[in-house]
Amino acid sequence: MTDTAARRYSTGAMIFHWLIAILVIMNWRIAETAEHLEGADKLVVFGYHKAWGMLILALTVGRLLWRWSHPVPPLPSGLKAWEAKLARTVHVIFYVLLVALPLGGWLASSYGGRPVDFFGMFTIPVLPVGENKDLSKSIFDAHATGGSIFIYLIGLHILGALKHTFIDKNGGIFRMLPFGKA
C-alpha cells in the first residue's frame, strides 16, 4: 500500500460519503421547497423528503457497517489538538444526525398517523406509538432544528476540508477522493 493510499479512505467509504452528502443536501433543498408550498403540493413534496430521508438512513447504516469493518485512515499529521478534536466531534455529530433525523421524521410521521411512501414501491408503516398530533408537531420542529444544525456543520466540514487542502496543504479533501495527493 502506498503512503497516499494509507492516508486515503477506502473506495466504499468514498462512495458512501459522497452519495450520502449529495442526498442530504438535496433533501434539505426539498424540505426548504416544501415549506413554501400549500395543501396537496406541500404533502407531495414532503412525501419525497421522507422517502429520501429513509434512503439516507439505510445508506448510513451501510456506511456504519462499512466503517466498522474497514480501517479509517489517521488524521493528517500536523493538526493542532483542537482541530483533531473538532474533526472527531463533527464526525460523531454527523453520524448521530444521519440516524436521528430520519428516525425522528419517521417517529413524527407516526405520531401524525402518516406512513412513509417509499417512492411508490412500498409503504413504511407507522411506528406503534399511537396518534398524538401535538407530539408530532414538536418532533417535526426538533427535526427542522436538527436539519439546520446539520447544514451549518456541513458548511464547517467543507471549510475545514478546503483549509486543510489549500492552506495547510496536507491533502485534506483528497483523503475522500480517488485522485490527488492525500
pLDDT of residue 153: 97
Assess contact for 52 and 46: CB atoms under 8 A.
Answer: no
pLDDT of 10 over the 90 cut = yes
Q: What is the mean pLDDT of residues 112-122?
A: 97
- In sequence order, the 6+-apart residues with CB closer than 8 A to the CB of 124 are 54, 106, 115, 116, 117, 118
pLDDT value, residue 123: 98
- Cell numbers at residue 154, please? 456541513
d(CA 49, CA 163) in angstroms, rounded, equals 32
Strand partners, 123: 117
Nearest by Cα to 161 from 113, 90, 72, 68: 90
pLDDT category of residue 78 using cuts at 50, 70 and 90: confident
For residues 154 and 136, what is the distance between their CA atoms, to the nearest angstrom? Answer: 27
Q: What is the band of 43 on the pLDDT scale with cuts at 50, 70, 90? A: very high
Percent of the chain at pLDDT above 70?
Answer: 97
Assigned C-alpha cell, 32: 426548504
CA 179, CA 86: separation in Å to the nearest integer? 25
What is the reported pLDDT for 169? 87
Which of the residue ranges 22-36, 113-127, 145-159, 167-181 would you say has the lowest mean pLDDT? 167-181
pLDDT of the residue at 80: 92
> Cell triple for residue 142?
426538533
Cα–Cα dist 108/15, whole Å:
30
**How does residue 77 score in pLDDT terms, banded at 50, 70 and 90?**
confident
Q: How many CB atoms lie within 10 A of CB 110?
A: 23
pLDDT bin (cut points 50, 70, 90) of residue 182 is: confident
pLDDT reported for residue 181: 82
Mean pLDDT for all residues in the chain: 94
Q: Give the pLDDT band (50/70/90) at residue 73.
A: very high
Percent share of the chain, pLDDT over 90:
86
Q: Supply the pLDDT for residue 2.
A: 53
Count each helix (H run) and each strand (E run) in the chain, helices first. 5, 2
